[in-house]
């Protein structure tokens, strides 16, 4: 099964970079500005103390319990894993972490929701990039929750709240208590039905100028199917496929458009 997933991702990667566009030929003023000013601006953000923690994680050989209610990958379905192995496969590479933060910051959010805390590296980046916002991050693995809490406390990051437990059980009560969300970053479960369910429920709470970022849209056929189905929804006025992540914008009054762009 693993080899077929790798072949699928490779095929989609090649196809993306053949048909994916850049700023040339972008007729949407909003997308042109977003692409040239935000997506292709690789300079920021960068937090040295977070990167130091990242390098500590990818060199840490301690074993931890691995509770993963999502689809996961073949290596992280094991009940015990070395920290360094899980960190290398679950933490977004630096260029993508920086991009996600630039995209989130562009929206000037007050409420950010992240599904899938992992070790808290991207969470910390979001919190420090948007210090005026509160980051609500969801995680089911008790070991990762404790490691993340310790990291946030050591780093002195105050604007993060961890929602503990299975997202299937914690998301709906949270959304009932927090009906207005500016940005959501979804990196959890990686199955078709849960992904659709999470995004649809969050869509009901996203502001008219909000943003939903869906991670790993080519991780599997299920994820690609979920991404394409969500892009077809009438509330999504602009969707942007950047290969590793997909962006969904909700600008009322704007013509519906879908883009596939290189990063």
Burial of 59 (0-12, 13-18, 19+ CB in 10 A): exposed
How confident is the model at residue 70, as a pLDDT?
Answer: 59
Looking at residue 47, which CATH number applies to its domain?
3.40.50.150
Residue 136 lies in a domain: yes
Q: How far is CA 44 from CA 41, 71, 76, 205, in A?
A: 7, 32, 31, 29
Map residue 25 onto helix, strand or coil.
Answer: coil
Residue ranges of the chain whose pLDDT lies below 50: 73-75
Residue 26 counted as domain residue: yes
On whether residue 83 sits in a domain, the answer given is no
Q: How far is CA 232 from CA 28, 228, 237, 244, 259, in A?
A: 18, 7, 9, 19, 12
Position 17 in a domain: yes
Domain for residue 72, yes or no?
Answer: no
In a domain, 25, yes or no: yes
Helix axes 48-57, 83-90, angle to 10 degrees: 130
- Cα distance between residue 169 and residue 211, in whole Å: 23
Which of 226, 243, 228 lies closest to 10, judged by CA? 243
Tell me if 75 is assigned to some domain: no
pLDDT value of residue 73: 45
Confidence at residue 14, expressed as pLDDT on a 0 to 100 scale:
94
Provide the residue range defining the domain that includes 241. Answer: 2-55+92-260
Q: What is the pLDDT of residue 71?
A: 55
Give the number of domains in the chain: 1
63 in any annotated domain: no
What's the pLDDT score for residue 92? 94
Q: Residue 184 pairs with which residues in a beta bridge? A: 113, 212
- pTM of the predicted structure, to 2 decimals: 0.94
């Amino acid at each position: 099964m693993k080899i077929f997933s790798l072949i699928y991702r490779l095929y989609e990667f090649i196809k993306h970079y053949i048909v994916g566009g850049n700023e040339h030929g972008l007729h949407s003023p909003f997308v042109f500005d977003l692409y040239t000013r935000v997506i292709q601006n690789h300079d920021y953000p960068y937090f040295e103390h977070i990167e130091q923690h990242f390098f500590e994680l990818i060199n840490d050989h301690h074993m931890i319990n691995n509770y993963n209610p999502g689809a996961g990958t073949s290596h992280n379905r094991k009940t015990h894993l070395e920290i360094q192995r899980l960190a290398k496969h679950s933490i977004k590479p630096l260029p993508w972490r920086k991009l996600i933060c630039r995209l989130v910051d562009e929206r000037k959010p007050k409420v950010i929701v992240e599904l899938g805390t992992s070790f808290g590296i991207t969470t910390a980046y979001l919190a420090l990039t948007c210090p005026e916002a509160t980051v609500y991050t969801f995680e089911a693995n008790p070991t990762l929750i404790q490691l993340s809490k310790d990291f946030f406390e050591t780093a002195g990051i105050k604007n993060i709240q961890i929602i503990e437990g299975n997202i299937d059980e914690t998301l709906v009560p949270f959304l009932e208590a927090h009906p207005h969300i500016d940005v959501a970053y979804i990196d959890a479960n990686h199955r078709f039905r849960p992904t659709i369910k999470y995004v649809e429920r969050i869509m009901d709470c996203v502001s008219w100028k909000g943003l939903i970022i869906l991670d790993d849209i080519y991780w599997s056929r299920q994820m690609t199917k979920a991404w394409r189905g969500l892009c077809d929804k009438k509330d999504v006025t602009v969707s942007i496929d950047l290969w590793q992540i997909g962006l969904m914008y909700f600008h009322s009054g704007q013509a519906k458009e879908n883009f596939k762009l290189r990063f």
